């Protein structure tokens, strides 16, 4: 299941593991503006309605950093290995 508002929608108990993909705020804003052709303010309004990223990370079993700097493949493989061990 993919959900940007998994915790807000109270779906966390319907899944076995929670993987959060984290990106810094400014990266998220730029990506959403580009993807949705939205204004900065409309993107910020959406973000403000969601749970804080630090809280989501604390509640998640695994966090992948997608900031353009951290290599993604090792993080994804680490997640897969974690799943394989369970």
Contact 6, 18 (CB under 8 A): yes
The residue among 6, 31, 30, 29 whose CA lies nearest residue 19 is 6
pLDDT digits (tens, 9 = 90+) for 30-52: 999 999 999 999 999 999 999 99
The answer as to whether 51 is a domain residue is yes
Per-residue pLDDT tens digits of the chain, which is 86 residues long: 889 899 999 999 999 999 999 999 999 999 999 999 999 999 999 999 999 999 999 999 999 999 999 999 999 999 999 889 87
If one counts the domains in the chain, the total is 1
The answer as to whether 5 is a domain residue is no
The answer as to whether 23 is a domain residue is yes
Q: What residues make up the domain containing 69?
A: 12-85
Please tell me the pTM assigned to this model.
0.81
The answer as to whether 3 is a domain residue is no
CA gap 43, 69 in Å, rounded: 23
CA gap 28, 25 in Å, rounded: 5
CA gap 68, 14 in Å, rounded: 31
């Amino acid at each position: 299941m993919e959900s940007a508002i998994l915790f807000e929608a109270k779906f966390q108990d319907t899944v076995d593991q929670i993987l959060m993909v984290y990106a810094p705020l400014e990266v998220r804003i730029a990506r959403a503006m580009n993807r949705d052709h939205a204004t900065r303010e409309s993107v910020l309004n959406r973000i403000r309605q969601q749970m804080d990223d630090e809280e989501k990370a604390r509640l998640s079993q695994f966090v992948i950093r997608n900031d353009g700097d951290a290599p993604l493949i090792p993080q994804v493989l680490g997640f897969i290995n974690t799943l394989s061990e369970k």
